[in-house]
Structure 1
Amino acid sequence: MPPPIITIILLLSVSTTTLSLTQEGLDLLQAKSTLSDPTGILSDWNPAHPTPCNWTGITCTHSNSVTGIHLPSASLSGPFPTTLCRLPSLSTLSLHNNNLNSNIPPTISACRNLTHLDLSANYFHGLIPSTLPDIPNLLYLDLQENSLSGEVPATFGNFRRLQILNLTNNLLNGSFPVVLTNLTTLKELVLAYNNFIPGPIPPQLGNLSNVEYLWLSSCGFSGEIPATFSRLTKLSNLELSYNSLTGAFPDIVFELRNLYQLELFNNSFSGELPKKGWSNLTALRRIDLSINHFTGAIPVELCKLPLSSLGLSDNKLQGLIPVSLAKSPNLYDLRLFDNSLIGPIPSDLGKFSTLTTLDLSYNKLFGEIPSGLCEKGELYDLVLIGNSLSGEIPASLGECRSLGRIRVSKNKFSGEVPAGIWGLPHVYLLDLAENSFSGNLSSIVSVGLNLSSIMISGNGFSGGIPEKIGSFSNLVEFFASDNKLTGEIPQSLFKLNHLGILDLSKNDLSGRIPAEIESLKQLNELNLANNKFTGEIPNEIGSLPVLNYLDLSGNSFSGKIPSGLANLMLNTLNLSNNQLSGEIPSVFHKDVYRDSFLGNPELCGGFSPRCVENYQSKSNHNLWLLRFIFVFSGVVLAIGVIWFVFKYRSIKKTNQGVSISKWRSFHKLGFSEIEIIHLLNENNVIGSGASGKVYKAVLSNGESVAVKKLWEGSVKNDEDAKMTSQKEFESEVETLGKIRHKNIVRLWCCFKSGNSRLLVYEYMRNGSLGDVLHSTKGRLLEWSMRFKIVLDAAEGLSYLHHDCVPPIVHRDVKSNNILLDEDYGARIADFGVAKFINLTNKGSESMSVIAGSRGYIAPEYAYTLRVNEKSDIYSFGVVILELVTGRKPIDPEFLESDLATWVQTTVNEKGHDHVVDPELEYGPKEQIYRVLDIGLLCINPLPMSRPSMRTVVNLLQESAVDGKPKPITNKEGKVSPCFEEEDCSDEASLV
């Protein structure tokens, strides 16, 4: 049969199949054509079947009519597919947690038979369509976590049957929508975290007689809770936190007999809590009145309720914790931190209820820890920081296998710690600091493999550090300063590949620092001050790639300052009060190191004039030696020239023999891999990254590139180091190889040479933001330059979070990973620990260990190891605070705190002026304050309250003095994140 006839038959076959598809199937295929489907979840939406009822996400009636579309977390992007509204029987449409990024069209009202509409957690923007109430039978409407703006339409008062309305976490503004109080059918009204104009709670809310769930946190409310709330007889959950409500505790609450949860924290309530009325709330299980100004004692009647959670944190309550509270049978979560409570912890606490969380921090409690706290075997969080508790830790806690976090620092505990504490299987944070514990650490008989933080500073622990310390394989932080520890540092400690902070200062440790310290590639802080260490400082410390804090003061180190220390990018260096000699390396001849070498009388150079005196006194005696050196040098030079010529010819002949395995090139290259390899010498080292040395290579064509040579993990048994290096290389390649954005550092190519893995980037002339900002160059960064940097960096992160599919979380956002070009344009760099987020896990993934740098890590990430884009936003908020204040994220002035906490506290107590960098004295104050406020939004302790990076970019652009910068657009005039000179073809697979 001739080929043309075969073609005709095939075309007729396809046409027949398409024609046999129902009209609903054709409508769905048209909807599919308007969407980007990078994961292929709609791949089975095709004409192979005459009915779409077997397609992914489709539900049908018995008569094969489509009634539901369920496609949550499917990575779909594009505009809202309006053709779906042609389906005559469609009653349920759920597109939750996708990347849909258009306006919600007014024509959505054509979906006449919808009863359930869920468009939450997308990127819809613009106004909410006023036509939505035209859908006559709509019962459920969820538009939360988008970027919808403007006012809630006045037509929303016309819904006929609506029961659930959720508009949380948008950019809605204007007055609070009182029109919603007409919807007497409502059972749930959720409007939290919007930007409504501040004002009192509308008394008309009392008209919602059927409402059961009322969540109005952060809606700008002030004044008192209106008396009309007494009409809300079906209300079971009332959440009014994060407002500015005032006055006494609202007695009207006692009339809400069905109330299950009451959250009024973070307001300005004052006065004593009512002593009577609590017995009316027989259904109450959770109450949180934290961060107010309540005074007096906790009411006894309140404590007799069958609470499941009680939160009265951050108030000014005074008095005892009632014994009756401990006998509540349903109590499982008790949080009374940051009050003025006084007296002992009730001895029966935990015996009558399945207690899981107990946080009584920062009160005035005394006495001992009750032995029955874990009697039911479910206690997970035990937090008692900052009280006057004493005695020993009960042995029963050493057998509580459910424990995950133990924090009892800043008390008066004494005696030995139960040995079992160290081996509890789920404990990841053990904080015993600033007490009077004693005993020998060598009594550790078992090892908790989950431990990532050990804090035992400020106690009386004695004896040596046990060899078993090396079995804590996930250890990230080890604080053991100010004890009575003796002996040498055990060799096993240098097997802790994740160790980031090691503080052994103020002990009686001795011996030498072994060269094996170079294996601690993640070490960020090393403090061995005020011990009895001897010998030379090992040069291997200079190979620690991320070390920025080094304190070896107050020991007996001798010899010269090792040249390897010049490779480090240190924020803090202290080698004072030792027995060092010789010349101070020129790299440390800076003001920042002025006090780093005091108390070493044999040192010279830098700020010490001793070398000059020594050389003058010895010059005559050494004249003969100098003459000999000159003659000897001449001979060596001649031999060296002859050897060089011989080697050069040999290398030229064997160039082809260099083992190069090219992995991938991402741009048109004007250089070869051979040329790169021959430029990698120590004279060209410009710094160390998180996973290797960085070289500047000036190519034969005059251009410069930056080359990262990853640590090889070449120690024989260092398989973990090899694995880490391999993972970081693959992560960097996988991430940067797919990105084309003006604010992301460009990866030219990557390849292997022997055992080395090499990444070649564009060269950034001005180095990192951290280096510039926290050096003498910081004075050159006027406000306009700082604003440009923060906006550039924000746009880069916004691209990673919103325009890449799947989204990318950087996980190590900090000023040292923001690089600056010759015009101080900013690029996000160092993607060695970046992660693609699997949207099927609802936008978050669990990591095995903490990534990131101290001072930048979001609080929830440090404790839960759950990572999503909100972790990056917190870190970026810290970068904003750095730019505005000029301060480092960790500074001795902050004591045990950090920059984020210091700024929040200072701004609240003294105002913005007291935190702004003095170098910005003549900058535009109003704009600086606005940017500072954006930074404070980003470091909100509540992850869901942090703005998205897209919102951060918008807020920064709105704060610009000259208006919004002009975005880069493509040929169609649409905003494009690509380079203007780059081909954006790769972007199609990403956006």
Structure 2
Amino acid sequence: MQVKHSLTDPSRSLASWNDQDDTPCNWTGLKCDTSTRRVISVDLSNFQLEGPFSTFFCRLPSLSNLTLSNNFINSSLPVGISTCQNLKLLNLSQNFIEGPIPGALSRIPNLRVLDLSGNNFSGEIPASFGEFRRLETLNLVNNFLNGSIPISLGNISRLKELGLAYNSFSPSHIPSQLGNLTSLEVLYLSGCNLKGSIPDSLSRLTRLQNLELSYNKLTGSIPNSLTELKSILQIELYQNALSGELPSGLSNLTKLLRFDVSKNELIGTIPDELCGLQLESLKLSENRFEGSLPTNITQSTNLYELTLFNNRLTGSLPSELGKNSSLQILDVSSNGFSGGIPSHLCENGAVTDLILFNNSFSGEIPESLGKCQSLYRVRLTHNNISGTIPRTLVKLSELVTLDLNDNELSGDIPVGIQGWKKLIELNLANNRFSGEIPDEIGSLLVLNYLDLSGNNFSGIIPPELQNLKLNFLNLSNNRLSGDLPPLYANRNYRNSFVGNPGLCGDLPDLCPRVGGSKKHGNFWILLKIFVPAGIVLIVGIVLFCWKYRAVKKNKKEIAVEIAMSPWKEFHKLGFSLSEIMDCIDENNVIGRGASGKVYKAVLSKGETVAVKKLFRGGGENSEKYGFEAEVETLGKIRHRNIMRLWCCYDYLDCKLLVYEYMPNGSLGDLLHRSRRGLLDWPKRYQIALDVAQGLSYLHHDCVPPIIHRDVKSNNILIDGEFGAKVADFGVAKVVAVAGPRGVSMSVIAGSPGYIAPEYVQTRHVNEKSDIYSFGVVILELVTGRLPIDPEFGDEGFIKWVSTTLNQKGIDHVIDPKLESKYKEVISKILDIGLLCTGLLPISRPAMRKVVRLLQGVSADKKSNRVYRDGTGSPYYQGEASDQAGKFSPDYHGEASDEAVLISRTCHTF
């Protein structure tokens, strides 16, 4: 009870702790020995407890396991913790504990597992830690530790797992004494500011299964001694400055499954002996490898990932590639490969990612790609590929990205593309395509990026394109004619249509001047206007009379139907269904989306609401992309930063959702339309904080948690006081048990530019996916730029922000409309946005911690927990492992890394 009184318990997780009970053995989080009835285990993880660590825990004489992970335990760790003499496991991970790590911890004689990861510990690792005699797991990942790695750690003879990754150590070498840890199975030293060479002494770690030295400044060659690690399953050396050729003797590593040396300065050819192993993942990207790809790469039947981008490789891809393997991800972009695309790539039907851009591939796209039913990303940009788009590709129902930009393709867009229901990006720019733009594109309701520029398309722009919710549209430099669809006939889309001589609209200079008599031209213009108008007027009068009679005749039946229809109210209402129905009129449309139209309804009592009417037809259009998910989610939750759902109506083909009305529209409209000047920095900051609080509620206060899956500026609505609310829960996912891998989704929801890279690659989604998307929104607020812009190139928005910030300074990143007096505060918020968009989900803070960071942004720098590494990039000392004693590497490196790797790693280690 002293422990309970020392902590703040906002969620009443300790409500069952009652001093009137005879025993605490039935209290939440406690476990007792069945014979002695003494407390042996305390597990209060994820209870949202706040306050300092209480040494009253140590008065439990039989306590062996103590877990307080993922709370708000703060202050420093008292030296008195060493009085917990019977502890075998101590897990204080994912808290806010600061100050030095007490060296007295080494006096706990039977301690096996010590997990202090994801805190604010500072200072050096105590040298006394070398005195541990029974310790098997030491996890200090993601803290503010400095100094160097003490050589005394080499004395912990029973140590099996050592994790020191992502700390701000002084530049130092890997202690050779770590080679004395002959029981070691996991060595996790990523992001430790290590320099110098990899010591040969590590070859003595004969039981080592996982070697993690990525994100450091290691130099020299990869030592041949590493080939003596006969038990090794995974070697991660990416993002260092290693040079020279790959060591000889790699064929000795017969158990090696994953090998990643990306982002180094390695040279030479890819050795045949490496390809002869039964690897699952081989990553050699961003080095200087040259020569051709070994033909025996096809021998590995386990290889599911091969990434070789940004090297100097030449020649053709082996014709048998993919035929006898489980290959899923192939990325050889930005090399000098030539020849045709192997026809056997989809022999096993397993390929999901085909990334071949920036090479010299020629020939046609193989018809056999249609066999890859799991294919969801195809990027063939900047090659010499000719011919047409194979008709077989329309069968790829899982396709998310089709990027064929800058080739020599011709013909038309094949019919049947309405089967691409999951397509988000379609880029056919700078080819020789012809014919009309098919109206079927308008049925691709999740499409966000459409670029058909620089071709020979003719005819009109299909009005069906107005059904799309596009973040990027480019139809320029074609042979299109006719009028612009009304949705696009405004200045915001002007650059989307230039270079089409026959295309007309109300946009200045879009249409060329036509020579000839002005009087004669005016006559024909008037004729073209008034003759069709007269016909429309006559037909309209006839239809009106007929419709009026039909409505009058059936008025009674309609009234009965409405009265009996299902009308669900989630709040006390002051309006009726009939009032809502009267407002469903085209004159009241204020928005269109992938799932339907939104109407502004001004009701009889002066109240204004927004009404979303879903498209008819049921199936995917109404159920999957809107109604059920919105009702299930918004009907149950209440939060001031979550859009309020007043009521809904569901009868036959009519599905209505009635929300509170947000007069300032979406954040996307405010940022990127004519009203951009309304958003000064204080408003933008408050919007970021509001959204973070809304998402934090979804992730941490809803049971089970809710993952939004489509966080973006267009789904953040702004009220009259510029308060922000998270909206559009049409693809939200309630997650009962996500686990470290997240939930596997059959459909990739979200919008290009906002989607977390690991979600695109693996379709496994968890809260970290929302955090990434929110980070993009922060960068959007700071820069005023859309996340998708051709200026950002293949590397994208996040890379543009970080690179520009490091090379040119913050003045070249901040929206010029923002006042310079806020520069210091904006810089801190920018850092928070960049850490939320980290490629490693392990480095992204939880949303409730993001809220704390935003709230403390103007306070003392120590509260911000945002630091810059040697490259100027921010990093966060926060999230780490999900299990006590485990700190398996989470998602690694490039966007092509798979969450499957994490699952396998966790099971293995």
TM bin, normalised by shorter chain, reads 0.7 to 0.9
Residues 62-99 of structure 1, C-alpha deviation per residue, up to 9 Å, x if partnerless? xxx98xx9xxxxxxxxx965796999445753748654
In the alignment, is the contact (CA less than 8 A) between 1:580 and 1:602 conserved in 2?
no
Pair 1:580-2:502 in alignment: yes
Which residue is 1:548 aligned to? 471
What is the one-letter code of the residue matched to 1:268? K
User: Is the alpha carbon distance of 1:616 and 1:838 closer, same or farther for their aligned partners in structure 2, counting shifts above 3 Å?
Assistant: farther
What is the one-letter code of the residue matched to 2:476? S
Matches of 1:115 and 1:814 in 2, distance apart? 46
Pair 1:390-2:314 in alignment: yes
Residues 98-150 of structure 1, C-alpha deviation per residue, up to 9 Å, x if partnerless? 54535565433343213233444556566657654333321122232345455
Pair 1:341-2:266 in alignment: yes
- The sequence identity of aligned pairs, in percent, is 41
Matches of 1:398 and 1:231 in 2, distance apart? 39
Which residue is 2:585 aligned to? 681
Matches of 1:772 and 1:640 in 2, distance apart? 40
Pair 1:670-2:595 in alignment: no
Residues 798-821 of structure 1, C-alpha deviation per residue, up to 9 Å, x if partnerless? 111111100111111111111111
Which residue is 1:724 aligned to? 624
User: Is the alpha carbon distance of 1:580 and 1:326 closer, same or farther for their aligned partners in structure 2, counting shifts above 3 Å?
Assistant: farther
The SS at the match of 2:320 is: helix
Higher mean C-alpha displacement, 824-833 vs 894-903:
894-903
Higher mean C-alpha displacement, 494-503 vs 513-522:
513-522
Pair 1:778-2:676 in alignment: yes
The equivalences for 1:19-168 within 5 A come to 35=13, 88-90=36-38, 93=41, 95=43, 98-99=46-47, 101-103=49-51, 105-121=54-70, 132-149=81-98, 151-153=100-102, 156-168=105-117
What is the one-letter code of the residue matched to 2:415? Q
In the alignment, is the contact (CA less than 8 A) between 1:453 and 1:477 conserved in 2?
yes
The equivalences for 1:778-817 within 5 A come to 778-817=676-715
1:560 positional shift: 1.7
Which residue is 1:494 aligned to? 418
In the alignment, is the contact (CA less than 8 A) between 1:429 and 1:453 conserved in 2?
yes
May I ask how many residue pairs the two structures share in their alignment?
846
Matches of 2:720 and 2:649 in 1, distance apart? 27
Residue of 549, 559, 571 corresponding to 1:656: 559
1:398 positional shift: 3.5
Which residue is 2:512 aligned to? 601
Higher mean C-alpha displacement, 827-836 vs 79-88:
79-88
User: Is the alpha carbon distance of 1:827 and 1:423 closer, same or farther for their aligned partners in structure 2, counting shifts above 3 Å?
Assistant: farther
1:339 positional shift: 3.0
In the alignment, is the contact (CA less than 8 A) between 1:338 and 1:363 conserved in 2?
yes
Higher mean C-alpha displacement, 655-664 vs 493-502:
655-664
Residues 402-448 of structure 1, C-alpha deviation per residue, up to 9 Å, x if partnerless? 01101122223233222221353221111122323233336337511
The SS at the match of 2:579 is: helix
Matches of 1:569 and 1:755 in 2, distance apart? 36
Matches of 2:124 and 2:653 in 1, distance apart? 64
Matches of 1:448 and 1:644 in 2, distance apart? 51
Which residue is 1:712 aligned to? 616
What is the one-letter code of the residue matched to 2:461? I
Task: Tell me how large the CA RMSD over aligned residues is.
Answer: 3.9
What is the one-letter code of the residue matched to 1:370? P
Which residue is 1:925 aligned to? 823
Which residue is 2:352 aligned to? 428
What is the one-letter code of the residue matched to 1:513? I
User: Is the alpha carbon distance of 1:122 and 1:831 closer, same or farther for their aligned partners in structure 2, counting shifts above 3 Å?
Assistant: same
Higher mean C-alpha displacement, 879-888 vs 547-556:
547-556
1:639 positional shift: 8.9
In the alignment, is the contact (CA less than 8 A) between 1:201 and 1:223 conserved in 2?
no
Residues 704-757 of structure 1, C-alpha deviation per residue, up to 9 Å, x if partnerless? 11111122236xxxx5545524xx311111111111111111111111244021
Pair 1:200-2:122 in alignment: no
Which residue is 1:512 aligned to? 436
The SS at the match of 2:297 is: coil
Matches of 2:724 and 2:671 in 1, distance apart? 13
What is the one-letter code of the residue matched to 1:407? D
Matches of 2:350 and 2:804 in 1, distance apart? 37
Matches of 1:411 and 1:601 in 2, distance apart? 42
What is the one-letter code of the residue matched to 1:908? N
Which residue is 2:906 aligned to? none
Residues 456-480 of structure 1, C-alpha deviation per residue, up to 9 Å, x if partnerless? 2223333332222221111111112
- Unaligned runs of at least 5 residues, structure 2: 1-8, 17-21, 863-909
Residue of 733, 748, 768 corresponding to 1:835: 733
Residue of 275, 283, 295 corresponding to 1:350: 275
Which residue is 1:876 aligned to? 774
1:256 positional shift: 6.1
1:635 positional shift: 9.5
In the alignment, is the contact (CA less than 8 A) between 1:217 and 1:243 conserved in 2?
yes
The SS at the match of 1:363 is: coil
1:226 positional shift: 7.6
The SS at the match of 1:784 is: helix
Which residue is 2:886 aligned to? none
What is the one-letter code of the residue matched to 1:555? N
Higher mean C-alpha displacement, 633-642 vs 913-922:
633-642
What is the one-letter code of the residue matched to 1:525? Y
Structure number with the bigger relative contact order (C-alpha 8 A, sep ≥ 6) is 2
What is the one-letter code of the residue matched to 2:569? S
What is the one-letter code of the residue matched to 1:501? E
Which residue is 2:454 aligned to? 530
User: Is the alpha carbon distance of 1:356 and 1:947 closer, same or farther for their aligned partners in structure 2, counting shifts above 3 Å?
Assistant: same
User: Is the alpha carbon distance of 1:825 and 1:873 closer, same or farther for their aligned partners in structure 2, counting shifts above 3 Å?
Assistant: same
User: Is the alpha carbon distance of 1:521 and 1:261 closer, same or farther for their aligned partners in structure 2, counting shifts above 3 Å?
Assistant: closer
Matches of 1:624 and 1:234 in 2, distance apart? 92
Matches of 2:174 and 2:301 in 1, distance apart? 43
1:865 positional shift: 1.1
What is the one-letter code of the residue matched to 1:494? Q
The equivalences for 1:456-471 within 5 A come to 456-471=380-395
Residue of 212, 224, 228 corresponding to 1:263: 212
User: Is the alpha carbon distance of 1:466 and 1:824 closer, same or farther for their aligned partners in structure 2, counting shifts above 3 Å?
Assistant: same
What is the one-letter code of the residue matched to 1:665? E
In the alignment, is the contact (CA less than 8 A) between 2:94 and 2:117 conserved in 1?
yes
1:372 positional shift: 1.4
In the alignment, is the contact (CA less than 8 A) between 1:837 and 1:843 conserved in 2?
no
The SS at the match of 1:757 is: strand
User: Is the alpha carbon distance of 1:425 and 1:570 closer, same or farther for their aligned partners in structure 2, counting shifts above 3 Å?
Assistant: farther
Matches of 1:631 and 1:892 in 2, distance apart? 45
What is the one-letter code of the residue matched to 1:290? Y
| The structure with more radius of gyration | 1
Residue of 467, 472, 489 corresponding to 2:396: 472
The equivalences for 1:175-190 within 5 A come to 176-177=125-126, 180-190=129-139
Which residue is 1:975 aligned to? none
Matches of 2:202 and 2:369 in 1, distance apart? 53
Higher mean C-alpha displacement, 569-578 vs 381-390:
569-578
Pair 1:375-2:299 in alignment: yes
What is the one-letter code of the residue matched to 1:350? C
Pair 1:560-2:560 in alignment: no
Matches of 2:389 and 2:715 in 1, distance apart? 35
Pair 1:901-2:799 in alignment: yes
Residues 767-821 of structure 1, C-alpha deviation per residue, up to 9 Å, x if partnerless? 1111111223223321111111111111111111111100111111111111111
Matches of 1:841 and 1:879 in 2, distance apart? 26
1:517 positional shift: 2.6
What is the one-letter code of the residue matched to 1:448? C
Higher mean C-alpha displacement, 499-508 vs 109-118:
109-118
- Unaligned runs of at least 5 residues, structure 1: 1-30, 43-50, 53-64, 70-78, 305-324, 604-609, 965-991
Which residue is 1:987 aligned to? none
1:895 positional shift: 1.0
1:329 positional shift: 3.2
Which residue is 2:364 aligned to? 440
Pair 1:417-2:321 in alignment: no
The SS at the match of 2:144 is: coil
User: Is the alpha carbon distance of 1:256 and 1:508 closer, same or farther for their aligned partners in structure 2, counting shifts above 3 Å?
Assistant: closer
1:241 positional shift: 1.9
Matches of 1:781 and 1:170 in 2, distance apart? 35
